Chains A and B, each alone.
Chain A
Amino acid sequence: MFERFDADARRVVVRAAYEEAQALGSASLEGEHLLLALAADPSTGAGGLLVDSGLDHDGLVAALERETERSLAAVGIALSDYEPAARPAAGRRKASFATSSKRALARAVGVASARGDRVVSTAHLLVGILRGEIGTVPRALEAVGVDRVTLMIAAERLL
């Protein structure tokens, strides 16, 4: 399924992003888990760009928490209102690709195809994620004052 992905990009989509989803207790693998997986490895082009842009892994987790708080507030819920009786045990659960991550992957492959690139790299992945204009990822970036378009243009220069 990911034959066109280079080693780093494949590791992100078949392992690292799953681990991000599991660590956050998510049953689904969303676009933000792909982004977290990229940020977790600054040795790749995409990961390095994210860290240089102030979005290291912890910074992204904080941005996502801020986005959740703001979104819940929009429907009248304060996150602090809920105190779980028990913290869910961090058991493993096989996350499945959600629509948000499928869209990001499809855009990444589309970017590579449009450029005639035979291999999909972490930079293609990052561009694919950042091209999404609506949803959790753009809102999380906005919540911490990162300009999505500027970051996307920088990611395109890595191609």
Chain B
Amino acid sequence: MTVDTPHDPADRLAGVVALRRLADRVEDAEVELALREGWTWSQVAEALGVTRQAVHKKHARRLAQAGTSERGD
């Protein structure tokens, strides 16, 4: 993809911020989908390169309240 790279650091640094937020949103969606498809927390954690505790802490409460069924591991 070719874009005109802006020369203003403010634009590019804001791009970094927006990318982080987009990555968080993608993670929320993809973790939820993986669990719905039967992946365990351990598998999701391994795929993301983090500990099971880390991924569980970040997503479990939100997904439990959203009604996503949880599977043990």
A78-107 residues at the B interface, CB under 8 angstroms: 78-79, 81-82, 84-94
A27 vs B11: C-alpha distance when bound (angstroms): 23
Across the A-B interface, give the 6 residue pairs with the lowest CB-CB distance, nearest first: A89-B66, A75-B15, A91-B66, A91-B62, A88-B28, A71-B14
> Which residue of the partner chain, among A25, A74, A91, contacts B25 with CB atoms under 8 Å?
A25
Is B18 touching A72 in the complex (CB atoms < 8 A)? yes
A25 vs B59: C-alpha distance when bound (angstroms): 12
Residues of chain B within 8 A (CB-CB) of A68 are 18, 21-22
Q: Is A134 an interface residue (CB 8 A)?
A: yes
> Which residue of the partner chain, among B1, B11, B19, B26, contacts A78 with CB atoms under 8 Å?
B1
Q: Given the known A-B contacts A71-B17, A77-B19, are A92 and B29 also in contact in the complex, defined by CB atoms under 8 Å?
A: no
Could you tell me the distance in whole angstroms from the C-beta of B30 to the nearest C-beta in chain A? 6
Main secondary structure on chain B at its contact with chain A?
helix
Q: Is B47 an interface residue (CB 8 A)?
A: no
Could you tell me the distance in whole angstroms from the C-beta of B57 to the nearest C-beta in chain A? 11
Is B33 touching A86 in the complex (CB atoms < 8 A)? yes
Is A71 touching B29 in the complex (CB atoms < 8 A)? no
Q: Is A33 an interface residue (CB 8 A)?
A: no
Could you tell me the distance in whole angstroms from the C-beta of A104 to the nearest C-beta in chain B? 16
Is B14 touching A93 in the complex (CB atoms < 8 A)? no
B1-17 residues at the A interface, CB under 8 angstroms: 1, 3, 5-6, 10-12, 14-17
Is B12 touching A82 in the complex (CB atoms < 8 A)? no
> Which residue of the partner chain, among A74, A82, A89, contacts B22 with CB atoms under 8 Å?
A82
Is A72 touching B30 in the complex (CB atoms < 8 A)? no
